[in-house]
Structure 1
């Protein structure tokens, strides 16, 4: 280059010629980090057109051009994920830039390797008494590579490094949430739930490769760190909820004088060296300290995959040849109402597959309640399979006739109730005790022979049979359940972007309502495939869920009680069908759900050997629970004149504990707990703690007509292991859990709870 600096020409070559050619691209930044120019490296030189200024005032970086995403880079931060090499420019006496040799480490690193990633996205679905893992189809799986600590350690500020010994020395479980840190790096993912299981695969050990001076070796200046670690290890061991990995890490640190010396040195270089050399040991601490994550864990997306009809994905990506296996993190999106929605995105540090073995299977378990059981197999023939209310409440598990049982001494009628198991419930309490509430979706699968001219439309109708107390309600005619509501059925299709990458889109088809031949609220029976008539979807590979939400109704508009729901069929001209062959109507198998069975007569509008439609009964209840804890009474009277909770008692006193756990129609369970100080007094808890349905007496407690539970205790029974002191403090908590479900979830917004405290002291 001449001294006029017309162009910037930089002689450039590899110190060791790589085994394969590596295309390079060079970036020219201002000192403030603004991108001025980028150009392809040709031959043995880089030439920038920028001129007029001394080239030493710029930052020049070179990176491999094998990943086309590098073309979109606009900043140094964006370029960093491509592992660039920064050129140090040196101008000789003739005014030319001296040749620059790219280190051999980079010629090896930039020779990217291929890795096949395969796996499955699943979710567990409960259908009646059946629980199954099912693949989630058409989910979008983001595959990210997590950078190893030696790429990040030099960028972590000293003020963060200096806090590490304190975190290691005095870990608490659960970790407290500190004041927000003023960190510079962007956060990859929002602070997710801190879980007790650290990660899908254990973090592998790594030999230190970072250059530190001999000053990193120190003799511990005091036994303080050792003493604190020893005390904290004992505390963690006594805490049953503390992760075993955290206790193991504490043990490993105590067994290493070198780690103790480095942490106790007060020298940030020594602490950095210890972090790099022992990251596998420190990781259990860092995993549970969210404000550290942006500094110690960075994640870049390397691949995007879509699951097939079985929930499986299989894709190959390129990764840096740094001598390690890739460390992979996964998060998942799913099309919900036409929008790609995140349904699985746990914290990066605790959910990374360290040293992922390329080609091995990964199982991603989704729990998001919005993800439905879709992509079912097509069923052949003229079939109408009425499956569920919501995604879980099998119609075969809704009691269709009066059936009585004795619960806590009270008569209970199970008609119209479901036994579907819900999270947070008890299998013992799910024996046909749940009514329906909230928004109810009626799910049906139609066979491949439909629609046909002779069976083209459907309609749901309803009427109330009984009141909330199960007394008969006035006789009424069937009324359309739809009330003119528009229903659409969504389907997915494939398309390719300008780079040839496959993606999925979504469209919808309107099922109705249609008014025809004097009949309102008719809805088209959807075909098995959207490409078929009458949908005629023109997109590439259109598919939809074989399940169809045939009606969606807000049950809060109904009075509580027992309802009949009727499904009727119509021909293409809108004529209501009668004398339909019974086998057309199917319901789930009671035990296995699938295959379906012919609907029993109790589910049919029987017309001789045929049927005029499908019918089922279901109880609707949207009532809220109530919960109250009352003041403690001594010998029948309240002795605390204020809200402070001190309860003086005489010898041989009767101390009454009382609370209210209520639901207007008894569709709730409750749990009442009395906790004494920090004690774990099993004997006292056996006297005071109780659970059950809100219908009648439970444990030692007697329920009155207002659903108030009362029981008297002696001072010794309550004081228990504290009886010698004659006093103790107590907390009381009652939680009333609504049993109602919408078929997807329990309606937890109907729950109620109360909390109180009191202290016993001798009068």
Structure 2
């Protein structure tokens, strides 16, 4: 360690101003604290100086660092600890870049009056938010599921003018050039990312549409500046876009000093574009202050207090990251880049919606409210396959996104879709269960409508809360089954550790145990089934068939219980009310086999195939080895492609592109078993169409083409389409005028 002298000149200060000491904290280039000290303020003539020494290792810090100068606040007689120095940074502290000469280390700089005075009036800003995972249900509606009991860290990013001030000239000019390039181009609107459950079920367009053209530029509003910069926008250019265009004109050829000043004033105009400038993240990381770590409640909500200087009109810029307790460890599930994940100019008290896209994130899923049939108090309801409610074989599917009586489903553009891969089965039961007479359940399956049943034996767990006095909240699990003859326990309404074999003898006094208010996303299933053909592409077509699935109920002694008025009733969903309540019916006797409720599922794990045949010219010369086709006047070109699925359960999309331009007349799409699509007719698995060369060439005498074919399986696991079963093909060729 070495003593590094620090001298700060407080310009424009008067000797009678009451400043006795300042806090100085040194940070290395990574933002790690390297040392701290108290600077004593002394008067020399008519000026004030802050002097002190930092005990640091210059070799460990390096030759570049940042020094924070902040007021030395007191609480009673105890000064704030150095570990709170980052908080002081927000109280109008000053963070200066400094260089340290390793041969003769010392730190000297000037602190202007507007920074160091006044420092002492504090105000409070309430920061509120909600942590969610956004999902798209099979019926097309969007739902925000809360991520409860997560750990959220809230940070404030340094105000934009301060960040601009510390940027070197070369980076200022780079920022100018990058911003001008982005402003002149439309802001891209990304497709939504995939989700684990219930996820968006992608469809194949029919016929394929051309790629969208450039979207018009939207001028950011105040509301846009408040929100995360990654928000979509597609508003047309309007009169309020004028300030943005004026900014472009002013920055085009301006020197670094002018750019710095103009960007400092035009922050709200450029915020929507910062998400594209990943290189700025390194700057933001060293200029952020994390002021609170809080836990989300049962609805995913969180709040914290941000303390700042009163009279500071600059709104805080809030960055949120999150962790969740997964697999026994706290795991980061949300940590976007600062440029993309910051809510700029946050309005105190507003609720920030933080959308987590990490597939590992486990939102809390409330049980759907159930309206049982009149007079039914004790019931078990086979609820859904994934996100698709079960209509039962004696009922009727009220619309898309339901398991139909014949075991198929309709969703999106996919009609008569089968099921496949790993299926998760959801069930609910009345509050009167469990008890000794109704204690276990079992799910099983069989092919066809006769023969023996195979029990589903994948272990099923549920998390409970172990709330140790203090901040140590844990989420251990207990196992519902399988036990005995592949039986699984009904989840109790209240959690009793002894009832689940949990040893609490080593836990401190006051430890509380309880179920979370809602189930985690990974714990909503009562049974899981890896369907036949999932792991074998070769065997899957032969295993495709209608299967029956059964759920039974057992007493604690393992005896199967028959449904009836004196025991319990199986009930089945019939519709969903506007408020989300499931309307139900009593299971029909035809749906009860050997005391168990039975429904059908069509399973088909067959994979698709895709092939494109070489184009054929009617008059000319084809050289397929090089991809060139010479055409004669009046010639036509025959295109052929083969989208197929062993059982016809797939859709396709075919397109032709000339250079970078789509040729809509040559596009097609739809069911792989359609007799015709667009200009093509099907024979076997092959679609064939003939086109005049002029219809494909447009105004080009010679042109290069790309044929693209995508075949999408209809199969679903009840939450998402099984896109892993899709196949695609691409072929390129060129048409050129035949030489004499």
- Same fold? TM cut 0.5: yes
SS at 2:339's partner residue?
coil
- Deviation per CA, 1:568-616: give whole Å up to 9, x if none: 1111111111244496323333344632413432783168xxxx12111
Match of 2:515? 543
Distance 1:59 1:146 in 2: 16
- Deviation per CA, 1:725-749: give whole Å up to 9, x if none: 5443322111111222222222211
Confirm or deny: 8 A CA contact 2:445 2:455 kept in the other structure.
yes
SS at 2:161's partner residue?
helix
Tell me which of 704, 708, 727 is aligned to 2:683. Answer: 704
Tell me which of 70, 75, 78 is aligned to 1:63. Answer: 70
Distance 1:509 1:47 in 2: 58
Shift of residue 359, structure 1, vs aligned partner: 1.4
With over 3 angstroms needed to count, the CA separation of the structure-2 counterparts of 1:531 and 1:25, relative to structure 1, is farther
With over 3 angstroms needed to count, the CA separation of the structure-2 counterparts of 1:751 and 1:606, relative to structure 1, is closer
Shift of residue 618, structure 1, vs aligned partner: 0.8
SS at 1:590's partner residue?
strand
Match of 2:429? 446
SS at 1:549's partner residue?
coil
Distance 2:630 2:80 in 1: 75
Match of 1:585? 570
Tell me which of 113, 118, 141 is aligned to 1:131. Answer: 141
Counterparts of 1:276-315 in structure 2, within 5 Å, are 276-295=264-283, 298-315=287-304
With over 3 angstroms needed to count, the CA separation of the structure-2 counterparts of 1:84 and 1:578, relative to structure 1, is same
Counterparts of 1:500-539 in structure 2, within 5 Å, are 502=471, 504-515=473-484, 520-531=485-496, 534-535=499-500, 539=511
Match of 1:324? 314
With over 3 angstroms needed to count, the CA separation of the structure-2 counterparts of 1:64 and 1:560, relative to structure 1, is farther
Confirm or deny: 8 A CA contact 1:400 1:617 kept in the other structure.
no
Shift of residue 506, structure 1, vs aligned partner: 0.8
Match of 1:215? none
Mapped pair 1:735 → 2:710? yes
Match of 2:656? 674
Tell me which of 354, 365, 380 is aligned to 1:364. Answer: 354
With over 3 angstroms needed to count, the CA separation of the structure-2 counterparts of 1:33 and 1:649, relative to structure 1, is closer
Shift of residue 154, structure 1, vs aligned partner: 3.4
Confirm or deny: 8 A CA contact 2:405 2:599 kept in the other structure.
no
Mapped pair 1:570 → 2:554? yes
Distance 1:31 1:376 in 2: 49
Shift of residue 79, structure 1, vs aligned partner: 8.6
Match of 1:237? none
Distance 1:699 1:81 in 2: 64
Counterparts of 1:139-178 in structure 2, within 5 Å, are 139-171=150-182, 173=185
- Deviation per CA, 1:519-567: give whole Å up to 9, x if none: x111111112324772387653522335742212222268322211111
Distance 2:686 2:249 in 1: 59
Shift of residue 477, structure 1, vs aligned partner: 0.8
Match of 2:197? none
Match of 1:554? 530
With over 3 angstroms needed to count, the CA separation of the structure-2 counterparts of 1:368 and 1:66, relative to structure 1, is farther
Match of 2:202? none
Match of 2:260? 272
Distance 1:652 1:67 in 2: 92
Distance 1:589 1:336 in 2: 35
SS at 1:758's partner residue?
strand
Confirm or deny: 8 A CA contact 1:119 1:361 kept in the other structure.
yes
Counterparts of 1:634-649 in structure 2, within 5 Å, are 634-635=617-618, 639-649=621-631
Confirm or deny: 8 A CA contact 2:157 2:284 kept in the other structure.
no
- Deviation per CA, 1:270-316: give whole Å up to 9, x if none: 32222212233344443323223433675433333333333333333
Confirm or deny: 8 A CA contact 2:421 2:530 kept in the other structure.
yes
- Deviation per CA, 1:9-53: give whole Å up to 9, x if none: 9999996999999997554799999977646789999987979x9
Tell me which of 428, 446, 460 is aligned to 2:443. Answer: 460
Match of 1:618? 601
Shift of residue 752, structure 1, vs aligned partner: 1.2
Tell me which of 559, 581, 601 is aligned to 2:588. Answer: 601
- Deviation per CA, 1:200-247: give whole Å up to 9, x if none: 93338xxxxxxxxxxxxxxxxxxxxxxxxxxxxxxxxxxxx9966999
Mapped pair 1:382 → 2:378? yes
Shift of residue 458, structure 1, vs aligned partner: 1.1
Shift of residue 633, structure 1, vs aligned partner: 0.8
Distance 1:168 1:10 in 2: 36
Match of 1:255? 246
- Deviation per CA, 1:311-342: give whole Å up to 9, x if none: 33333332354332212233444444455444
Confirm or deny: 8 A CA contact 2:149 2:295 kept in the other structure.
yes
Mapped pair 1:653 → 2:643? no
With over 3 angstroms needed to count, the CA separation of the structure-2 counterparts of 1:443 and 1:32, relative to structure 1, is closer
SS at 1:755's partner residue?
strand
Structure 2: gaps (5+ residues): 43-49, 99-107, 189-214, 227-231, 398-403, 505-510
Mapped pair 1:476 → 2:451? yes
Aligned residue pairs, count: 638
Confirm or deny: 8 A CA contact 1:14 1:101 kept in the other structure.
no
Mapped pair 1:754 → 2:733? no
Shift of residue 165, structure 1, vs aligned partner: 4.0
Confirm or deny: 8 A CA contact 2:574 2:585 kept in the other structure.
no
SS at 1:129's partner residue?
coil
Match of 2:225? 203
Distance 2:609 2:16 in 1: 74
Confirm or deny: 8 A CA contact 1:480 1:521 kept in the other structure.
yes
- Deviation per CA, 1:26-84: give whole Å up to 9, x if none: 54799999977646789999987979x9xxx999854357799985759x999967764
